[in-house]
Amino acid sequence: MAKRLAWLLLAACLIFTACTTTSSQKKETAQKGFTEAKEQPKKGQAKDKKAKEQEKEQEQQSADTGIKFTKIHIPLKEIKKENGQITSTSVYTYGQDKLTPERIEIYNIHNELIELVVNEKIEVHTERKSYLDKDNNIIRYYVITRNEAGKIEEQLLFNGSNKLIAIEEYDYDDSGRTSEWRVYNGNEKLLSYNVYTYKNGRNTRVDSFSSNGILSEYFINEFDKNGNLICESAYDKDDNLLAQHRSIFRNGLIYREEFQGEDKKLQWYINYTYSEQYLKVLKTTYSGDGRELEQLEQSCLLFDR
């Protein structure tokens, strides 16, 4: 008995050592990978070299280090520019959870408030998200009901005249993943519903049905080895491609988004750049032919996931 206990103890020690080594190695690799991702071209380096590096980076797509950026960006301020000129500034104020904006104020170039988004709790599980114009008139609002886990169960959309425009309902499976999403019009007539299918814990397919239960279109989602959603493709019921949304990640951070229409024509793309400490995110949107449409500069806080 004592001998058996000694063997068990020895085995436990060996397993513990192996685990510790693996986790410390992983940690080391993680730190190394993060530093690599942080490396920026030094001042004075040729521009074309920088461009080549970016291209290479994009080509590599998911061939990154496998290490995830483990923070969440919480925007505090967002400056929108068009043709290099500031067109609006959004200021975010957060509630107690530090994740949900309670208030988003949008100012124009003259620092005048032009739009306000207010998120307020009206009951324990119900909140109201209102969009107001510069004169404080409600343009539209959502009444959102959440379940115990904080996930949206129902979302009602009203216009500025309090007319119910649409209702959305969500169902979740036992693991808390979205299993169905339904849309009704203001008269509570079902318009459409989407059914979500998961494979290896990832949402790989969405089937979209019209109210009579006939498949209208479906969506195929592709993920990289790190679980980042890198491609979403929409097909009609006859398997014709309708649209595609592609994303390029590196170390858990998105670097580029592309959207193609049914003719596979690039409609727009977005390039993301990050400041050295990742506290600033610059999101530049281009039209398919490369015309810069807008630039969003977000100043963020970083939170652990």
Partner 1 sequence: MRKLFASALLALFTVLPISAGTFDQSMTMIRIMEQSDLEYKTELLENAFDRSDRIAGIYASEKLKTTMDGEFAGQSEEAVDAFKKVLIERLGETNSLEDADIIFTIFNGSDNSQLVRSAAEALGKIGAVQYSDNIIELLEDSNTKQYFLITQGYDNVLKENEKTAWSCVLALENLHSKECYEPLFHTRLSDYSKESGIKERASKAMTVIVRNPTSILKDISDREHSSRGRTLILDISRQSNALEVQKVDLAAYIFSETIVHDYEFGDYMINACAAIEKSPYKVRGTEAALKKILYGSYSPAFTDLAIKAAPHCQNGVNVLSDYLKEQNNYTREGATKYENHQIVLMVINSLGKSGDANAADQLIVARDAGWPPEIKQAADAALNNLLSK
Looking only at residues 85 through 104 of this chain, which bind partner 1 when binding is defined by CB under 8 A?
85, 87, 101, 104
Whole-angstrom distance, CA of residue 49 vs CA of residue 44: 11
Continuous segment of H or E residues that includes residue 6: helix 2-38
Stretch that binds partner 1, among 4-12, 32-40, 41-49, 174-182 (CB under 8 A): 174-182
Q: Beta strands 152-159 and 138-146: pairing type?
A: antiparallel
Continuous segment of H or E residues that includes residue 219: strand 215-223
Whole-angstrom distance, CA of residue 249 vs CA of residue 36: 14
Return the number of the residue (53 or 205) whose C-beta is nearest partner 1: 205
Return the number of the residue (37 or 228) whose C-beta is nearest partner 1: 228
State which of residues 61, 89, 210, 284 lies at the interface with partner 1 (CB under 8 A). 210
State which of residues 1, 137, 291, 304 lies at the interface with partner 1 (CB under 8 A). 291
Question: Does residue 273 bind partner 1 (CB under 8 A)?
Answer: no
State which of residues 62, 178, 284, 299 lies at the interface with partner 1 (CB under 8 A). 178
Q: Tell me the closest approach of the beta carbon of residue 59 to partner 1, in angstroms.
A: 20
State which of residues 217, 271, 295, 297 lies at the interface with partner 1 (CB under 8 A). 217
* Contact criterion met (CB below 8 Å) for 126 and 144: yes
State which of residues 155, 156, 295, 297 lies at the interface with partner 1 (CB under 8 A). 155
Per-residue DSSP letter, 148? T
Return the number of the residue (37 or 104) whose C-beta is nearest partner 1: 104
Q: Tell me the closest approach of the beta carbon of residue 210 to partner 1, in angstroms.
A: 7
Q: What are phi and psi of 226, to 5 degrees?
A: -90, 5
Question: Does residue 255 bind partner 1 (CB under 8 A)?
Answer: no
Whole-angstrom distance, CA of residue 178 vs CA of residue 192: 16
Q: Tell me the closest approach of the beta carbon of residue 72 to partner 1, in angstroms.
A: 5
Continuous segment of H or E residues that includes residue 157: strand 152-159
Looking only at residues 27 through 46 of this chain, which bind partner 1 when binding is defined by CB under 8 A?
none
Return the number of the residue (37 or 157) whose C-beta is nearest partner 1: 157
Q: What are phi and psi of 228, to 5 degrees?
A: -80, 135
Looking only at residues 112 through 151 of this chain, which bind partner 1 when binding is defined by CB under 8 A?
117, 129, 140, 142
Return the number of the residue (13 or 109) whose C-beta is nearest partner 1: 109
Contacts of 113 (CB under 8 A, 6+ apart): 105, 106, 107, 134
Q: Tell me the closest approach of the beta carbon of residue 50 to partner 1, in angstroms.
A: 21
Question: Does residue 203 bind partner 1 (CB under 8 A)?
Answer: yes
Q: What are phi and psi of 173, to 5 degrees?
A: -85, -175
Contacts of 179 (CB under 8 A, 6+ apart): 171, 172, 173, 195, 196
Question: Does residue 294 bind partner 1 (CB under 8 A)?
Answer: yes
